[in-house]
């Protein structure tokens, strides 16, 4: 029996889990569930990264002992993952004794190999990244390029790791293991980085004490990345697990931490005496979940948390199902959305309205209705048992469906095996579409009317075979839904410890006479009213969105329903996005030509500009706009703009009020202003 060891990064505990951090965890679970279904001995590891200056400081700020702070802060992560259907075999905390011992052992091996020496380090340090930056890498104002907060100048005695000695060996390793880093484009980035020359790196600190003590020199604690990367090895120590699972098949990581995993980590391991065959097989770097093109993060105040999404699902579906079931449906929808709407490896914008739309259409209309249609007919005409279809001969429609399922099952499996869950989900939904088409063409209700009972039984049996295969194929993405479908179809529950490969190869041939389970709607519809409530409930917890600005957080881009959300900078532009409004509705919007008289940055709000705009009124209007990422303030002075002049005043922090909205096309940082010809005076109404 082959085995599969998959890891997520271990999460910093100074934040609660948000959808950006849940992203890796969820996708790791999707992938590991697939391997479990294939009866591979699967080990999935996650955990928390609890050492370092920022944790020490966060504890100090709250006036609690660091250990106590760490214990409390790790809690939400441990609790959150099961709520999202994510089941891990182990959860490692870097503050555990088993971890400390193991990374100290790694350190000794590296030291004894002659790859550590004592020196002095001085540099620009970002506490949030726990990393030093060179002057060249810093953003203007000595800011961290990622977090946009000022880096600190630190100097301290430090042990250095001789990374410079590993340049050739790393390049040789990449050469012999060309798919060590995935997707392939990222492998090239890593190679060029290494070819650009490697410097020795500082791997210990003396300026704080919250870390793993350096063996035999306890003034020093280990640099958090040496400590943290060691978790993948430390978690397997002390039992037979190392023999069973080492080396990891894949480390799933965000692109921001690829370098640590693809350069430092293999170098540390080589230095500790690991052979090339004992290095991790793959490091897969995924992209960022973004909101209006910006990384979702607590710092940027645009983060949506899974907790709030689950609460919103619970509230929206409370009339139709138990709260616990509604939360499971919510968790599965989130999982499905993250796997399907975002290409794994690339950045993808998170969009609440898109999520609801996919829930209603791909989950509700396509999958949910399919289950209901087939099971309702089976209830009516076959007493809720798998019908015996042998009285009629399968024809072209059955053959076509069979082929579609064979293709989908193979493709979905192949894609999941190479970390392409989006394409895998596409393949599964091709099967869903094929099954819907089959039911539409074979129209069991018409066969029943015509008294064609043998044909009817064949069609229902074939459809149940299709649904049964689907219940397995959707399970990695949506474990609760997969189980619920299985239960309704009278199948035994899927096991996390499958001893037989149960991934379908096509339709799942069910035994005639098997009893089906209780039928129930899986994805109750979220109508326009519920959608509006859902979105505003979630956005109500997003600090940046609650503040209100034209650069709205999670501004939805696609919809078929009424617009519940606050104004957007970039409304969608495809045909599907067009919603009908009446002429009277349109007349209510007062669009006027304006001329910008003055513009300045809003202090501490790095996305906002404050503008004085002449609208032909006694005094220029003050308008606050999220245009700063696309325009320098001065460059806007004198520009002619189109303004929504009768928008209710909107309050920003510190009493700043905006009296209108400026129209722009596209997205930050490439917004273009909607404008008017030179000879149209300020204040002219557009109609």
Taking the complex as a whole, the smallest distance from the CB of residue 174 to ligand MSP amounts, in Å, to: 20
Taking the complex as a whole, the smallest distance from the CB of residue 13 to ligand MSP amounts, in Å, to: 8
Taking the complex as a whole, the smallest distance from the CB of residue 296 to ligand MSP amounts, in Å, to: 4
Question: What is the footprint of ligand MSP within residues 460-479 (CB under 6 A)?
Answer: none
CB closer to ligand MSP out of 297 and 305? 297
Query: Does 102 engage in binding with ligand MSP (CB under 6 A)?
Result: no
Query: Does 341 engage in binding with ligand MSP (CB under 6 A)?
Result: no
CA gap 184, 280 in Å, rounded: 16
Q: Tell me the torsion sign for CA atoms 212, 217, 223, 227.
A: negative
CB closer to ligand MSP out of 4 and 284? 284
Taking the complex as a whole, the smallest distance from the CB of residue 106 to ligand MSP amounts, in Å, to: 13
Taking the complex as a whole, the smallest distance from the CB of residue 662 to ligand MSP amounts, in Å, to: 28
Q: State the DSSP string of 43-85.
A: EEEEEEE--SHHHHHHHHHHTS-HHHHHHHHHHHHHHHHHHTT
Alpha carbon distances (Å) from 293 to 29, 53, 282: 26, 30, 28
CB closer to ligand MSP out of 104 and 297? 297
Query: Does 95 engage in binding with ligand MSP (CB under 6 A)?
Result: no
Taking the complex as a whole, the smallest distance from the CB of residue 276 to ligand MSP amounts, in Å, to: 21
CB closer to ligand MSP out of 254 and 566? 254
- Cβ atoms of 133 and 126 within 8 Å: the answer is yes
CB closer to ligand MSP out of 92 and 682? 92
Query: Does 9 engage in binding with ligand MSP (CB under 6 A)?
Result: yes
State which of residues 4, 5, 12, 313 lies at the interface with ligand MSP (CB under 6 A): 12
Tokens of 428: 């599964």
CB closer to ligand MSP out of 50 and 314? 50
Closest alpha carbon to 291 in 674, 554, 91, 96: 554
Tell me which stretch binds ligand MSP (CB under 6 A): 6-14, 62-70, 108-116, 458-466: 6-14
Taking the complex as a whole, the smallest distance from the CB of residue 578 to ligand MSP amounts, in Å, to: 30
Query: Does 21 engage in binding with ligand MSP (CB under 6 A)?
Result: yes
- Cβ atoms of 668 and 551 within 8 Å: the answer is yes
Taking the complex as a whole, the smallest distance from the CB of residue 31 to ligand MSP amounts, in Å, to: 15
Question: What is the footprint of ligand MSP within residues 62-81 (CB under 6 A)?
Answer: none
Select the residue whose beta carbon is closest to ligand MSP and give its number: 254
CB within 8 A of 60, min separation 6: which ones? Answer: none
Relative to beta strand 591-601, strand 621-625 is: unpaired
Taking the complex as a whole, the smallest distance from the CB of residue 10 to ligand MSP amounts, in Å, to: 5
Query: Does 24 engage in binding with ligand MSP (CB under 6 A)?
Result: yes
CB within 8 A of 49, min separation 6: which ones? Answer: 9, 10, 11, 12, 13, 94, 224, 228, 231
Tell me which stretch binds ligand MSP (CB under 6 A): 10-18, 72-80, 239-247, 310-318: 10-18
State which of residues 4, 5, 6, 10 lies at the interface with ligand MSP (CB under 6 A): 10
Q: Tell me the torsion sign for CA atoms 286, 290, 293, 299.
A: negative
Query: Does 103 engage in binding with ligand MSP (CB under 6 A)?
Result: no
3-class SS letters over 353-419: HHHHHHHHHHHHHHHHHHHHHHHHHHHHHHCCECCCCCCCCCCHHHHHHHHHHHHHHHHHHHHHHCC
> Nearest-5° angle of CA 273, CA 274, CA 277?
150
DSSP E strands: which ranges in 244-366?
A: 250-254, 282-286, 289-291, 294-295, 348-349
Closest alpha carbon to 4 in 281, 274, 262, 285: 281
Match 């709260």 to its residue by tokens.
323
CB within 8 A of 466, min separation 6: which ones? Answer: 401, 405, 431, 434, 435, 438, 507
Q: How many CB atoms lie within 10 A of CB 259?
A: 18
Query: Does 49 engage in binding with ligand MSP (CB under 6 A)?
Result: yes
Q: How many CB atoms lie within 10 A of CB 400?
A: 14
Taking the complex as a whole, the smallest distance from the CB of residue 210 to ligand MSP amounts, in Å, to: 14
State which of residues 84, 127, 198, 253 lies at the interface with ligand MSP (CB under 6 A): 253
Taking the complex as a whole, the smallest distance from the CB of residue 594 to ligand MSP amounts, in Å, to: 35
State which of residues 183, 211, 254, 479 lies at the interface with ligand MSP (CB under 6 A): 254
- Contacts with ligand MSP by CB under 6 A: the residue count is 21
- Cβ atoms of 199 and 164 within 8 Å: the answer is yes
State which of residues 4, 23, 132, 405 lies at the interface with ligand MSP (CB under 6 A): 23
What x-and-dash track marks residues 285-304 binding ligand MSP by CB under 6 A? ---xx-----xxx-------
Taking the complex as a whole, the smallest distance from the CB of residue 161 to ligand MSP amounts, in Å, to: 16
What x-and-dash track marks residues 201-240 binding ligand MSP by CB under 6 A? ---------------------------xx-x---------
Helix (H, G, I), strand (E, B) or coil at 114: coil
Query: Does 264 engage in binding with ligand MSP (CB under 6 A)?
Result: no
State which of residues 96, 105, 189, 256 lies at the interface with ligand MSP (CB under 6 A): 256
Question: What values do phi and psi take at 596, rounded to 5?
Answer: -75, 125
CB closer to ligand MSP out of 158 and 297? 297
Taking the complex as a whole, the smallest distance from the CB of residue 228 to ligand MSP amounts, in Å, to: 4
CB closer to ligand MSP out of 49 and 200? 49
CB within 8 A of 470, min separation 6: which ones? Answer: 367, 428, 431, 432, 435, 485
Residue 269 host element (H or E): helix 265-271
CB closer to ligand MSP out of 253 and 408? 253
Taking the complex as a whole, the smallest distance from the CB of residue 567 to ligand MSP amounts, in Å, to: 24
Query: Does 20 engage in binding with ligand MSP (CB under 6 A)?
Result: yes
Query: Does 257 engage in binding with ligand MSP (CB under 6 A)?
Result: yes
Query: Does 90 engage in binding with ligand MSP (CB under 6 A)?
Result: no
Taking the complex as a whole, the smallest distance from the CB of residue 341 to ligand MSP amounts, in Å, to: 13
- Cβ atoms of 366 and 384 within 8 Å: the answer is no
- Residue 317 C-alpha from the chain's centroid: 23
- Residue 559 C-alpha from the chain's centroid: 21
Q: Which residues bind ligand MSP (CB under 6 A)?
A: 9-12, 20-21, 23-24, 49, 228-229, 231, 253-254, 256-257, 288-289, 295-297
């Amino acid at each position: 029996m082959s085995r599969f060891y998959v890891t997520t990064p271990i999460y910093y505990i100074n934040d609660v889990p948000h959808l950006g951090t849940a992203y890796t965890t969820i996708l790791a679970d999707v992938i590991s569930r697939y391997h479990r279904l294939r009866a591979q001995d699967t080990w999935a590891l996650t955990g928390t990264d609890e050492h370092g200056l920022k944790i020490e400081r966060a504890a100090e700020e709250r006036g609690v002992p660091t250990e106590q702070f760490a214990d409390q802060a790790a809690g939400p992560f441990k609790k959150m993952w099961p709520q999202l259907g994510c089941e891990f075999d182990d959860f490692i905390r870097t503050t555990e004794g088993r971890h400390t011992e193991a990374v100290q052992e790694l350190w000794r091996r590296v030291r004894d190999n002659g790859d550590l020496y004592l020196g002095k380090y001085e540099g620009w340090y970002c506490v949030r990244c726990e990393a030093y930056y060179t002057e060249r890498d810093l953003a203007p104002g000595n800011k961290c390029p990622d977090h946009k907060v000022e880096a600190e100048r630190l100097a301290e005695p430090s042990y250095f790791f001789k990374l410079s000695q590993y340049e050739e060996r790393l390049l040789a390793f990449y050469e012999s293991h060309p798919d060590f880093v995935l997707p392939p484009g990222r492998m090239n980035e890593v190679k060029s980085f290494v070819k650009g020359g490697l410097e020795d790196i500082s791997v210990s600190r003396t300026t704080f004490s919250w870390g793993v003590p350096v063996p035999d020199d306890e003034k020093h604690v280990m640099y958090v990345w040496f400590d943290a990367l060691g978790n993948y090895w430390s978690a397997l120590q002390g039992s037979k697990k190392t023999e069973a699972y080492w080396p990891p098949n894949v480390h799933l990581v965000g692109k921001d931490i690829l370098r640590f995993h693809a350069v430092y980590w293999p170098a540390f391991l080589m230095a500790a005496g690991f052979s090339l065959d004992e290095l991790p097989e793959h490091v897969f770097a995924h992209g960022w979940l973004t909101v209006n093109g910006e990384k979702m993060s607590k710092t940027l105040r645009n983060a949506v948390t899974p907790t709030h999404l689950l609460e919103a699902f619970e509230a929206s579906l409370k009339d139709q199902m138990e709260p616990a079931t509604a939360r499971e449906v919510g968790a599965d929808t989130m999982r499905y959305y993250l796997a399907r709407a975002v290409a794994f490896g690339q950045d993808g914008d998170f969009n609440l309205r898109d999520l609801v739309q996919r829930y209603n259409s791909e989950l509700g209309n396509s999958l949910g209705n399919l289950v209901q249609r087939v099971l309702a007919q089976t209830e009516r005409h076959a007493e809720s048992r798998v019908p015996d279809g042998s009285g009629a001969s399968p024809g072209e429609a059955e053959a076509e469906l069979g082929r579609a399922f064979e293709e989908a099952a193979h493709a979905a499996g192949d894609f999941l095996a190479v970390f392409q869950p989006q394409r895998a989900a596409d393949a599964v939904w091709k099967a869903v579409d094929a099954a819907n088409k089959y039911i539409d063409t074979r129209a069991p209700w018409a066969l029943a009317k015509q008294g064609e009972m043998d044909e009817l039984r064949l069609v229902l049996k074939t459809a149940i075979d299709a649904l049964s295969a689907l219940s397995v194929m959707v399970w990695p993405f949506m474990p609760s839904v997969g189980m619920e479908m299985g239960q309704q179809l009278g199948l035994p529950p899927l096991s996390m410890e499958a001893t037989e490969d149960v991934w379908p190869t096509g339709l799942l041939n069910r035994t005639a006479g098997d009893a089906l389970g209780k039928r129930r709607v899986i994805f109750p519809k979220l109508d326009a009213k519920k959608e509006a409530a859902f979105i505003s409930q979630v956005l109500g917890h997003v600090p940046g969105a609650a503040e209100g600005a034209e650069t709205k957080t999670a501004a939805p881009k696609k919809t078929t329903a009424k617009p519940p959300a606050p104004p957007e900078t970039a409304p969608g532009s495809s045909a599907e996005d067009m919603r009908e409004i009446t002429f009277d509705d349109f007349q209510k919007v007062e669009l006027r030509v304006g001329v910008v008289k003055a513009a300045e940055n809003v202090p501490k709000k790095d996305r906002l500009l404050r503008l004085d705009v002449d609208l032909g009124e006694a005094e220029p209007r003050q308008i606050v706009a999220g245009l700063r990422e696309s325009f320098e303030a001065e460059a806007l002075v004198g520009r002619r703009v189109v303004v929504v002049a009768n928008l209710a005043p909107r309050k920003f922090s510190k009493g700043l009020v905006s009296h209108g909205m400026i129209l722009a096309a596209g997205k930050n940082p490439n917004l273009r202003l909607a404008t008017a010809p030179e000879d149209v005076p300020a204040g002219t109404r557009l109609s």
